[in-house]
Chain A
Amino acid sequence: GAVVSQHPSRVICKSGTSVKIECRSLDFQATTMFWYRQFPKQSLMLMATSNEGSKATYEQGVEKDKFLINHASLTLSTLTVTSAHPEDSSFYICSASRGTKSYEQYFGPGTRLTVT
């Protein structure tokens, strides 16, 4: 159990457009989901934490108006990169936790975003 999926796995978009990435917990209810960004050959940087039904909490330096996060259900969170620019090109990874008191996170396979 504890499988997390992401869709799409790869996306290429033009500069100025918006792209939505979905994160789903397939076999458990995820009260909390996290969005990370991973630059090439670097570690994961937490972008935001989202709890189902409430607004996401963004890390310092992450623009909430650019990276819109919605966590409308216990199995789905979405990250929308608005007005994407080439510097937004990156690997975006989500993770899910069974609850706010559950410390283990289960990671999705990631989404490679390329902005041309």
Chain B
Amino acid sequence: AQSVSQHNHHVILSEAASLELGCNYSYGGTVNLFWYVQYPGQHLQLLLKYFSGDPLVKGIKGFEAEFIKSKFSFNLRKPSVQWSDTAEYFCAVQIKAAGNKLTFGGGTRVLVKP
């Protein structure tokens, strides 16, 4: 079965710092990749997704992610974070051949200090 790993459980940084969250998955076939964000007390929201094409994907709120197939990675980045980016971030993977089930990574809690 596929698995999704997020390397950092907690990240603390100051406003204007750059953010990079790692995500690796274990599956050799074709996948769709997602990053979701869960703000405190709110539901999951889609930040960005990769299905095919340009491996550098731009999402909402200034986030982007790069799919590196050879590394089975889909890292999330933001050049300059804001206090409002404090949230939990989840990477998720779909195996295209298995329908649209999502497998989530363990999540990374990001705290941005003002």
Q: Are the CB atoms of A105 and B100 closer together than 8 Å?
A: yes
A100 / chain B contacts, CB cutoff of 8 Å: 99-100
Nearest CB of B to A33, in Å: 11
Residue A97 interfacial (CB < 8 Å): yes
Contact residue among B45, B46, B90, B103 (Cβ-Cβ distance under 8 Å from A46) = B103
Residue of B nearest to A5 (CB): B43
Residue A93 interfacial (CB < 8 Å): yes
CA distance A95 to B102 in the complex (A): 10
Q: Are the CB atoms of B43 and A110 closer together than 8 Å?
A: yes
Contact residue among B51, B96, B105 (Cβ-Cβ distance under 8 Å from A43) = B105
B46 / chain A contacts, CB cutoff of 8 Å: 104
A105 / chain B contacts, CB cutoff of 8 Å: 100, 102
Interface size class of A (residues with CB under 8 A): 20 to 34
Select the residue from A34, A42, A103 with max chain B CB neighbours within 10 A: A103
Q: Contacts A43-B106, A93-B43, A103-B51 hold; do A49 and B101 have CB atoms under 8 A apart?
A: yes
Residue B44 interfacial (CB < 8 Å): yes
Residue B32 interfacial (CB < 8 Å): yes
Nearest CB of B to A93, in Å: 7
Residue of A nearest to B106 (CB): A43
Select the residue from A32, A42, A44 with max chain B CB neighbours within 10 A: A44
Contact residue among B43, B100, B102, B107 (Cβ-Cβ distance under 8 Å from A108) = B43
A93 / chain B contacts, CB cutoff of 8 Å: 43-44
Binding site for A on B (CB under 8 A): 32, 36, 42-46, 49, 51, 90, 94, 96, 99-107, 109
